Amino acid sequence: MKKIIQLLIVGIIVGSIGYFIGWKSGYNEAEKYQNLKGIESIKSDLKEREMEMISSLLKGKARIETKKEGGIFNRKEVQYFIAEVRNNSLLAKAKDIDVKVIFLSKTKSEIGDIEFTVYEFIQPGQSRIITKEVNVSDDVAEFRWNVIIALAE
């Protein structure tokens, strides 16, 4: 009986040592692979991921402004949707950005919406001011906006 217990203990110890040596060896191999993977390859992988999710990396703030335009005799008020959109990616440029603006009443009901595309580049880490003339009725109390989709380069 003592010999069986001794064999079991020795077997558990040897098995544990073998497991940890194998685990450490596998960990070292994975780390070595990451170190061998060049910086350009890592940047390429990151850019590819950012290009797939560029729409979610575009954030910003917006407002609707009313400006008086025209000459002395034909002066009129024109409303503009003005947004500052920031590209929060590290490597991917954003372009051809589709924006949707939803106009809401005081009761938060949707009154209407507009969609438009901005055909400009936004470099990584940079911002761009977007200006679009809109026709907002007096019933509009607030609005929501978001980037529907954008392309990346």
Residue located via tokens 């070595």? 32
116-150 burial, b at 16+ Cβ within 10 Å, e below that, comes to eebeeebebeeebebeeebebeeebeebebebeeb
CA–CA gap between residue 147 and residue 15 (Å, rounded): 56
Whole-model pTM over 0.75: no
φ/ψ of 108, rounded to 5, equals 70, 15
Q: Which two tokens stand for residue 98?
A: 């589709």
Q: Is the pLDDT of residue 27 over 80?
A: no
What percentage of residues in the chain have a pLDDT greater than 70?
90
Contact partners, residue 131, CB within 8 Å, separation at least 6: 80, 81, 82
List beta partners, residue 63: 82
pLDDT in tens, 100-148: 999 999 999 999 999 999 999 999 999 999 999 998 888 888 999 999 9
| pLDDT at 30 (0 to 100) | 64
